[in-house]
Amino acid sequence: MDDTNKLPARSDDDIHREIYNAIIDGRLHPGEKLGQDELGKVFGVSKTRIRPILHRLSDQKIVTIEPMRGAFVARPSVEEAREVNAARQIIEEGVIRAATRVAKPKHLKMLRRIVADENEARQGQNMGCAHRLTGEFHCELARITGNEVVADVVRDLVSRDSLVVGLYQRPNSSACSLHGHSQLIDRIAAGDEDAAAHAMRHHLQDVMASLDLGPGQPSSASLKSAFSHIGNSQ
């Protein structure tokens, strides 16, 4: 009997989320091949179910699909790295202004919880989790505005920037500092839109300064190992 028949059923959204998180957490690296057969074995599904999920990730600009070669984790160029950061500065300055106008104590509490969780992850050397929480902080700021379109745009930009950081960040540097996030919360709590926007701009400039925009290094990580936590890889 095929062992995949014994695996727990997963929806397409579940599989999308697992692959998405593996990319954002840095378990799957820029340029890594995403074989449909191998992913099918990992999740216990046919490759015909994997294919549209990869196209969905391609629409989010974190996977590239090349004719006759297959799907790969996106490998952003230096130009794209600069453009994504510039886009984030333009959009997130407006986001934090809007968030400052409407933020309530419960929102500040949520943001501080994310910072605390990220600090705990860093202290525990769980850098994949810390990296994901860094992005979640910015996504939560966008959600505070109450504008779902803005939240979607920020999420997609943060996802693309996660690949940039994974590819170009200098060793032993932190692209999105805990201090920077705490400072943003303080500016929101003070209700000062101008100071909050100024802090956001400099925070994202610090992200850019943490990068070494050389050629980047290819990864040799195993696709199977990226999903070892699932416990059902073939």
Q: In this structure, is residue 32 part of a structural domain?
A: yes
Q: Are 59 and 70 in contact (CB under 8 A)?
A: no
Strand partners, 70: 66
pLDDT tens per residue across span 75-107: 999 999 999 999 999 999 999 999 999 999 999
- Same domain for 202 and 91: yes
Q: In this structure, is residue 153 part of a structural domain?
A: yes
Residues of the chain with pLDDT under 70: 1-8, 171-176, 214-234
- What CATH number is attached to the domain comprising 38? 1.10.10.10
Can you point out the beta strands (E) in 3-149? 33-34, 63-66, 70-73
pLDDT for 228 equals: 59
pLDDT for 103 equals: 97
Q: In this structure, is residue 166 part of a structural domain?
A: yes
Q: In this structure, is residue 178 part of a structural domain?
A: yes
- Same domain for 126 and 28: no
pLDDT for 4 equals: 44
pLDDT for 9 equals: 72
**Burial call 64-94: b when 16+ CB within 10 Å, e when fewer:** beeeeeebbbbbbeeebbeebbebbbebbbb
* Residue 120 token pair: 């705990």
φ/ψ of residue 153, rounded to 5: -65, -45
pLDDT for 39 equals: 92
* pTM reported for the whole predicted model: 0.78
* Residue 64 token pair: 């590239």
SS (H, E, C) 171-185: CCCCCCCHHHHHHHH
Q: In this structure, is residue 65 part of a structural domain?
A: yes
How far apart, in Å, are the Cα atoms of 13 and each of 35, 47, 62, 91, 97?
18, 15, 16, 28, 33
pLDDT for 218 equals: 47
- Same domain for 178 and 86: yes
pLDDT for 3 equals: 46
- Same domain for 24 and 39: yes
Listed residue (110, 9, 5, 10) closest to 53, CA to CA: 10
| Own/partner pairs, 208-212, CB within 8 angstroms, 24+ separation | 208/82, 208/85, 210/165, 210/169, 210/170, 210/173, 210/174, 210/175, 211/81, 211/164, 211/165, 211/168, 211/169, 211/170, 211/175, 212/168, 212/169, 212/170
Q: How many domains, the chain?
A: 2
* Residue 79 token pair: 């130009």
